Amino acid sequence: MPFAVPVAEQRFLLQHVAGIDALAAMPAFADATPDMVDAVLEGAAAFAEGSFAPLNRVGDTVGARRTEAGVTMPPGYVAAYHDYVAGGWGTIDADVAQGGQGLPFSVATAVLESLGTANLSFALCPTLTVGAIEATSAHGSASQQAMYLPKLVTGEWTGTMNLTEPQAGSDVGALRTTATPQADGTYRIKGTKIYISYGEHDLAENIVHLVLARTPGAPAGTRGISLFVVPRFRVGADGAIGAANDVRCVSIEHKMGLHASPTCVMSFGDRDDCIGEIVGPEHGGMRAMFTMMNNARLNVGLQGVEIAERATQAAVDYATVRVQSARAGAASRESVAIVEHPDVRRMLLRMKALTQGARALCYHAAGQVDRAHQGDAAARVRVDLMTPLVKAYGTDVGVEVSGIGIQVHGGMGFIEETGAAQHYRDARIAPIYEGTNGIQAADLVGRKLTGDGGAGLAALLAEIRGEAADEAGLMMLVDSVERVAEALRVGDGDDRLAGSYPFLTMLSVATAGWLMARQGRAAVGDDGFARMKRAVVRFYLDRLVPEATGLSAGALAGAAGLYAVGVEELVA
């Protein structure tokens, strides 16, 4: 199926949602000139379309495989990954000192979006490497940074995040992997981790595992966790790759989607010879984990947008080619392309509106990340508030839009060869990993709503009201969000959690609606992009925003009804 990165949309969002002009005016981002940003967007789009996109289907049909020699990627992936490294596509926002280009995270977001829209499974690998870079940058020693960062930034080595264990999924504090100190200051790591994306593969010469484990005598729960760096192959002081470390993939999962991404069960220290170094202070693992996870959560939210964009393009393409039935009420009884039928249009515009609304959340958050990195405290608060919204709403949108994509294809959508089914299957993991969307909702109504007395939320709502007061439907939703927030804040903890998910959706839609309204005002002129943008903005504000208002009853309904029956009755 045809595929093109929506570069005009990316440029528009960088300008009007992320605020790239203001970023470029900061000394740190002086290089982010319009010409430079354009060159990056165009180059990334061409690379994504030419190298990553053509491998999406073979990634699904062949998938990553575990062999005696280790995990191998599907045909074409190794060469494309080498091109990715050679093109410097992983270096956009990394520090210049580490070999990066020092451009804004907002621009890196657009680049990652292009790769992920082309091939979600493949782009997950760089996404995880970013997490390893962030953790090492923030918490690693100077020698660790010197040893790992340059190779991670280029992508010559890839990174993983090793959190989950069979008994410790969302409850990270329950993990049991051990780290025993050695005389030389290193640690012996022993344990099993599951769901490790790209835990093993043949794309890169080394893999840098960041592993949460417990040191001897560590306190129970999350307070006793430390972070360790465990390379697949040991690295000499000179940076040369040495002998294999005692870490290996013992199984890969048979998943519903994302087949090209090897989801590994990793065994550390089978022969008691897995050597790692501690990253940051002992028992500082949770803080380091949140460093890794926060940007990862933004990037997973972006994955929802990516799969939604890909599904939308496929559906629009099919709808313009598939001829079926005359237009109802039309004089002509000739069959028309299904794009002409009102309900198909409704589906396509719903796909576009959801996708663009979720994308706006991603770019807004990215712009705030850049400001926060430059010391803007209000931007840091905004990023913290936006993170659960981006992650949960973005991934919910990915699921819904890919489902509509199947529907637009009719019977063909259920046939694997069409490709729509792959989007639907691939999309479904995103609401689960990097903290389930339920965890995001709990984070929102917990820390984010009550942690600062609600100041961050109040600031956001005030900004929305100040800018979009003329959108009556949006103002109704904002009022409703405020009422719900207040009720949840003063309410019982169970009631707060019971209403957390509908509240998260309401706030996400209110925020996206605000950013869509802004785009609608900015989309002046009569070119195709501007007219399309205005139509999609109206769809979002006139149809999706009122839907979200309907969630307030559920958000306020409380927990008592959920516990009116015991577990026995639920099972019966």
Q: Which of residues 155-174 bind a copy of itself (CB under 8 A)?
A: 164, 167, 169-171, 174
Concatenated DSSP letters of 501-554: HHHHHHHHHHHHHHHHHHHHHH--SSSHHHHHHHHHHHHIIIIIHHHHHTTHHH
How near is the Cβ of 93 to a copy of itself at its closest, in Å?
Answer: 29
How near is the Cβ of 499 to a copy of itself at its closest, in Å?
Answer: 9
**Max Cα distance, the chain (Å):** 87
Mention every residue, 6+ apart, whose C-beta is less than 8 A from residue 546.
473, 476, 477
Give the residue, chosen from 175, 307, 441, 474, that forms a contact with a copy of itself under the rule CB under 8 A.
Answer: 441
**Residue 90 — φ and ψ, nearest 5°?**
-90, -5
337-346: long-range contacts at Cβ-Cβ below 8 A with a sequence spacing of 24 or more? 338/408, 344/319, 344/408
Mention every residue, 6+ apart, whose C-beta is less than 8 A from residue 153.
90, 91, 94, 95, 98, 99, 100, 133
Residue 278's beta-bridge partner residues? 228
Closest among 135, 249, 137 to 201, alpha carbons compared: 249
Q: Which segments of 303-382 are extended strands (E)?
A: 323-326, 335-337
How near is the Cβ of 237 to a copy of itself at its closest, in Å?
Answer: 38
Give the residue, chosen from 250, 458, 524, 553, that forms a contact with a copy of itself under the rule CB under 8 A.
Answer: 553
How near is the Cβ of 411 to a copy of itself at its closest, in Å?
Answer: 5
Residue 525 binds to a copy of itself (criterion: CB under 8 A): no
Cβ proximity to a copy of itself, 280 vs 513, nearer residue: 513
How near is the Cβ of 552 to a copy of itself at its closest, in Å?
Answer: 7
Q: How far apart are CA 222 and CA 224, in angstroms?
A: 5
Cβ proximity to a copy of itself, 88 vs 473, nearer residue: 473
Cβ proximity to a copy of itself, 231 vs 257, nearer residue: 257
Cβ proximity to a copy of itself, 75 vs 342, nearer residue: 342
How near is the Cβ of 38 to a copy of itself at its closest, in Å?
Answer: 18
Residue 219 binds to a copy of itself (criterion: CB under 8 A): no
Cα-to-chain-centroid distance, residue 336: 38
* Residues binding a copy of itself: number (CB under 8 A): 106
- The C-alpha R_g of the chain, in whole angstroms, comes to 24
How near is the Cβ of 175 to a copy of itself at its closest, in Å?
Answer: 12
Which listed range, 147-155, 272-280, 383-391, 542-550, lies at the site for a copy of itself (CB under 8 A)? Answer: 542-550
Residue 490 binds to a copy of itself (criterion: CB under 8 A): no
Give the residue, chosen from 196, 442, 468, 488, that forms a contact with a copy of itself under the rule CB under 8 A.
Answer: 442
Give the residue, chosen from 310, 428, 448, 518, that forms a contact with a copy of itself under the rule CB under 8 A.
Answer: 428
Of residues 405 through 424, those in contact with a copy of itself by CB under 8 A are 406-407, 410-411, 413-417, 421, 424
Give the residue, chosen from 28, 432, 459, 475, that forms a contact with a copy of itself under the rule CB under 8 A.
Answer: 432
Q: Torsion angle of alpha carbons 136, 119, 432, 315, nearest 10°?
A: 150
Residue 81 binds to a copy of itself (criterion: CB under 8 A): no
Give the residue, chosen from 298, 444, 497, 523, that forms a contact with a copy of itself under the rule CB under 8 A.
Answer: 497
Mention every residue, 6+ apart, whose C-beta is less than 8 A from residue 172.
163, 164, 212, 222, 225, 286, 289
Angle at 329 between CA 326 and CA 330, to 5 degrees: 60
List the x/- string, 191-210, binding to a copy of itself by CB under 8 A.
---xx---------------
List the x/- string, 330-359, binding to a copy of itself by CB under 8 A.
---x-x-x-xxxxxxxxxxx--x-------
Cβ proximity to a copy of itself, 102 vs 446, nearer residue: 446
Of residues 232 through 291, those in contact with a copy of itself by CB under 8 A are 253-258
How near is the Cβ of 518 to a copy of itself at its closest, in Å?
Answer: 19
Mention every residue, 6+ apart, whose C-beta is less than 8 A from residue 108.
92, 93
Residue bearing tokens 């409380």: 558
Closest among 96, 116, 98 to 32, alpha carbons compared: 96
Do 168 and 191 contact (CB within 8 A), yes or no? Answer: no
Residue 539 binds to a copy of itself (criterion: CB under 8 A): yes
Residue 324 binds to a copy of itself (criterion: CB under 8 A): yes
Q: Which residues are catalytic?
A: 434
Residue 53 binds to a copy of itself (criterion: CB under 8 A): no
Residue 357, classified by CB atoms within 10 Å of its CB into exposed (0-12), middle (13-18) or buried (19+), is: buried
